[in-house]
Amino acid sequence: EALVSTRAGVSHERLAATSIGGIVKIAVGDFLLIGSIGELKVDRANSEWVLAEIEFMGEGPQGSDGTLAGFRRGVSIYPHPGDQLRLAEEVDFQQIFAPPALPHIMFGTVYPTDSIRAPILYDRLLGRHFAILGSSGTGKSTTTTLLLHRILDAAPDAHILILDPHGEYAHAFGAKAKVWDVDNLQLPYWAMNLEEHCEAFVTSSAEEAAVDRNILAKCLQKARARNVRISEAARITADSPVAYQLADLLLALEEEAGRLEKIADASRYTLLRLTIEQYFADPRYNFIFNAEYANNSLEQLLGDILRIPHQGSPISIIDLAGVPTELVNAVVSTVARLTLDFAIRSPRDAKIPTLLMCEEAHRYLPRVPTVHTAGVRRQLERIAREGRKYGVCLGIVSQRPSELSEVVLSQCGTMLSMRLNNLDDQQQLKATMAEGARSLVGVIAALANQECIITGDGVPVPMRVQVDTVPPEAKPASEDQLFSVRKAVERQQ
């Protein structure tokens, strides 16, 4: 009966409180159980009754006035038939959504209230990975920007690395960010492992690709070994982060091609050599395949892209918009691997927590990997599995959760879900949500722009949030292009 009312003249807030996602309380002895409305239907036997399916969120002691006197997540006692159900009140919301005594930021306003603020516990958010999901145009980039700004306001010494495939974020952070693109990035070719070398140099397929990979592995190992002491050469592999000269790699190819017991026809060696020379000669690849980078310092590279020290610019943005398509996966894989390897090898008392933001994550983390995405997917999944132990957090942003790697999505402790129009995406999101939050999936398709559902370790309880507005100067350059405005400009010209 608490859910039955005459709808005419009822306030918007009251209607929202009695709809899907509304919060109710059930008195059980001296306790109040708090739940979220997941489904509503009319009892056909008695059309005046509304039947509600409730997902429990938590519980707390009941005060003398029938309101919550405290709140904790989880349920220790369940209701019985006949226990009284009422709508949660403003004072109840203050208890439910009150941030615990942990570092937190305020991110928006809790639906359906106008004043209760939505806290995000950023240590838990960053310590257990997170995902920002939503269909194209729902405000994912703006939400990401707001979240990072709020985290930096609370923790100005944070280290954040953004993989930006569309060049959107440089405008959003100004002096707080250092932007790396094909004009100023110097990613030395020798820092790539064997798999990343193959991503670039091996263009054949099927059986020929396996042969070319074996050839490249043997020659790469020889080229690296020529740059260390003889006593250390036996421990060098094709994956060792040891600098080598381009001339040494080409010489190793020539030597292997001239051997009587070579593993393939000489034409395979010639084709591989021509491909390597082409990459080093093409100015489009100069940011990575440049013979002058043979003596570049890996320490300097990591210091630059991880902002150590950050010198007032704790955010590092790698603008991938100008990177040739055939090299994007190799670049992302290399950066991700170096970030985690640096964290693993750092002394425990000197580790620097780092957030790796992966925009358009479905490009690098597809559910079904291909030959060209297997390497980068492996490195990002490795961060998802192991990064938490070493202080590397993975933040993924995607419009297609149904196309994302299940491994990574299942490792995300917090989900910030904006409107999702695709049914497969909604079902995938529901499958990854914890009990007590799945009822909120029912409203995912009806969320307005700048609204999101937040669930998981990073929030006290699952909540629907009206995200705060980002000032124009802090917005990413992700607005839709207006054809009508363009047409008017052309007429003026």
DSSP 311-366: TT--EEEEE-TTS-HHHHHHHHHHHHHHHHHHHHHS-GGG---EEEEETTGGGTSB
Position of tokens 């421990």?
235
Question: Rg for the chain (alpha carbons), in Å?
Answer: 27
Which pLDDT belongs to residue 192?
95
Say which DSSP state 371 is in: T
Tokens found for residue 103: 């570092």
Position of tokens 């959107």?
168
Q: What's at 136, amino acid-wise?
A: S
Sign of CA dihedral 216, 218, 219, 225: positive
Question: In which order are the strands placed within the sheet that holds 72-73?
Answer: 72-73, 50-61, 31-42, 23-28, 85-87
Q: Could you read off the pLDDT tens digit of each residue along the chain, which spans 493 residues?
A: 455 544 555 555 555 666 777 888 999 988 899 988 877 787 767 666 677 788 888 899 998 888 898 888 888 888 888 888 888 888 888 888 888 888 999 999 998 788 899 999 999 999 999 999 999 888 899 999 999 999 999 999 889 999 999 999 998 999 999 999 999 999 999 999 999 999 999 988 778 888 999 999 999 999 999 988 888 888 999 999 999 999 999 999 999 988 878 888 888 899 999 999 999 999 999 999 999 999 999 999 999 999 998 888 999 999 999 999 999 999 999 999 999 999 999 888 888 899 999 999 999 999 988 888 889 999 999 999 999 999 999 999 999 999 999 999 999 999 999 999 888 888 888 777 765 566 677 778 888 888 999 988 999 888 889 999 999 888 888 776 666 666 655 666 6
Closest by CA to 224, choosing from 200, 203, 197, is: 197
Q: How far apart are CA 452 and CA 475, in angstroms?
A: 18
As a residue count, the chain comes to: 493
Question: Per DSSP, what are the bridge partners of residue 396?
Answer: 131, 358
pTM (two decimals): 0.88
Q: What's at 307, amino acid-wise?
A: R
Q: Answer yes or no: are the C-beta atoms of 307 and 315 closer than 8 Å.
A: yes
Position of tokens 């479905």?
362
Which pLDDT belongs to residue 1?
47
Q: How far apart are CA 13 and CA 21, in angstroms?
A: 12
Closest by CA to 288, choosing from 199, 351, 359, 410, is: 199
Q: Helix 206-225 vs helix 194-201: angle between axes, to the nearest 10 degrees? A: 130
Q: Answer yes or no: are the C-beta atoms of 404 and 365 closer than 8 Å.
A: yes
Q: How far apart are CA 490 and CA 22, in angstroms?
A: 50
Which pLDDT belongs to residue 201?
93
Question: Per DSSP, what are the bridge partners of residue 131?
Answer: 396, 415
Ramachandran class of 289: left when φ > 0, alpha when ψ lies in -120 to 50, beta otherwise? beta
